[in-house]
């Protein structure tokens, strides 16, 4: 499995190597064998159900009639997930390492909101975070493939993160300048009531979203808008180019560059033992 998907879930060691702890550790932390697979399935079903409940609860009509029911179910799931979280913390040898891992944080975030909702009203909607837990779903169907696919995608994103940051920064600069200029040109009458609003408009325009809630009305404003649109339309190429180039080089078959002592061919495939041209064995 690629390092990137390892980053999603490191290999954990059980606290104990025998007894029920070991057995449960396998069930909860492994995904291949029967029982642990069943556990994963049940977990994902529970997650999807709890997310569905949150969504349904937000429908005014349904909330009116079933609010209390949803409330009970919600607490049920929360206690369930709390128990699971506690189990994981107890069964793994390095609880902190788990707690700080990607899934560890998600697991915690997915139970906190309900408890917070006792203090702050409305925060239970944040339970929606739970959907992130469904990332575990990829484990079930064709574990390796999917995880490695995700690994490749995330890996390429991580490797190109600096280029993307440079790009985002450039975009924000353009947004700031155009937001300020349009605020000067169009003014409050057209809805550009301040530079932040102008920046909001510039982002929405440059990314070609174009709500139309704020639009230029003056000729010069429309001209500048056209410029901004063309800029956005042209540089949308940049992140795509960055990512595609990165991904392509990732997918390209790895090469092994060792010089063949016979014919001097340097560029070999990673799994070559012999030179593909002269057949001479390659130095390790």
Q: Which helix (H) or strand (E) holds 209?
A: none
CA angle 175, 177, 178 (to 5 degrees): 65
β-pairing, 255-257 vs 267-269, is antiparallel
User: With binding defined as CB under 8 A, does residue 65 bind its own copies?
Assistant: no
Query: Is the CB of residue 188 less than 8 Å from the CB of residue 195?
Result: no
Does residue 147 contact residue 1 with C-beta atoms inside 8 Å? Answer: yes
- 72 vs 166, beta carbon nearer its own copies: 166
33/226 with CB nearer its own copies: 226
Identity of the residue, 34 or 212, whose beta carbon is nearer to its own copies in the bound complex? 212
59: contact with its own copies by CB under 8 A? yes
For its own copies, which residue of 251, 254, 283, 284 counts as binding (CB under 8 A)? 251
What angle separates helix 195-206 from helix 161-185, to the nearest 10 degrees?
A: 120
| Site for its own copies contains 225 (CB under 8 A) | yes
Q: Determine if 3 is a binding residue for its own copies (CB under 8 A).
A: no
User: Which range binds its own copies by CB under 8 A, 10-18, 19-27, 96-104, 265-273?
Assistant: 265-273
Q: Is 219 in the site for its own copies (CB under 8 A)?
A: yes
**Which of 19, 33, 244, 261 lies at the binding interface for its own copies (CB under 8 A)?**
244
Residues linked to residue 255 through DSSP beta bridges, in sequence order: 269
Of 177-196, binders to its own copies (CB under 8 A) are 177, 179-181, 183-184, 188, 193-196
Cα–Cα distance, 229 to 232 (Å, whole number): 5
Closer CB to its own copies, residue 21 or residue 272? 272
For the bound state, the minimum distance from the C-beta of residue 201 to its own copies, rounded and expressed in Å, comes to 9
Q: Is 112 a binder of its own copies (CB under 8 A)? A: no
Site for its own copies in 138-167 (CB under 8 A): 138, 142, 145-146, 149-150, 152-153, 156-157, 162-164, 166-167
Pick the closer one to its own copies by CB: 79 or 278: 278
Among 11, 64, 234, 254, binds its own copies (CB under 8 A): 234
* Cα 8 versus chain centre, distance: 10
Residue pair 89/101 in contact (Cβ under 8 Å)? The answer is no
Count residues binding its own copies (CB under 8 A).
109
* Adjacent-strand bridge partners of 281: 274
| Torsions phi, psi for 256 (to 5 deg) | -115, 120
Binding status of residue 197 toward its own copies by CB under 8 A: yes
Please check whether residue 182 is in contact with residue 198, taking contact to mean a CB–CB distance below 8 angstroms.
yes
Q: What is the largest CA-CA distance in the chain?
A: 82
| CA end-to-end span of the chain | 25
Q: Of 38, 67, 233, 261, which lies in the binding site for its own copies, with binding defined by CB under 8 A?
A: 233
């Amino acid at each position: 499995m690629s390092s990137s998907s390892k980053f999603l879930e490191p290999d954990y060691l059980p606290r104990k190597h025998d007894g029920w702890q070991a057995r449960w550790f396998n069930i909860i932390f492994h995904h291949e064998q029967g029982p642990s697979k069943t556990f994963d399935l049940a977990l994902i079903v529970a997650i999807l159900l709890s997310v569905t409940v949150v969504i349904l609860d937000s429908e005014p009509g349904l909330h009116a009639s079933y609010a209390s029911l949803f409330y009970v179910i919600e607490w049920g799931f929360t206690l369930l997930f709390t128990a699971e979280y506690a189990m994981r913390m107890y069964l793994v040898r390095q609880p902190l390492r788990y707690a700080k891992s990607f899934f560890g944080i998600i697991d915690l975030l997915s139970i906190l909101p309900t408890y917070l909702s006792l203090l702050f009203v409305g925060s239970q909607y944040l339970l929606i975070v739970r959907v992130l837990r469904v990332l575990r779903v990829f484990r079930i169907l064709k574990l390796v493939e999917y995880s490695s696919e995700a690994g490749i995608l995330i890996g390429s994103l991580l490797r190109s993160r600096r280029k993307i940051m440079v790009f985002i920064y450039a975009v924000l600069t353009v947004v700031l300048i155009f937001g300020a200029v349009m605020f000067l040109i169009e003014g409050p009458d057209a809805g550009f009531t301040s530079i932040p609003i102008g920046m909001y408009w510039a982002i929405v325009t440059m990314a070609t979203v174009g709500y139309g809630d704020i639009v230029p009305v003056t000729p010069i404003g429309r001209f500048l808008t056209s410029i901004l649109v063309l800029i956005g339309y042209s540089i949308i190429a940049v992140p795509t180019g960055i990512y595609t180039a990165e991904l392509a080089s990732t997918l390209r078959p790895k090469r092994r560059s060792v010089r063949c002592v016979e014919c001097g061919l340097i560029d070999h495939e990673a799994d070559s033992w012999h030179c593909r041209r002269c057949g001479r064995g390659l130095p390790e």
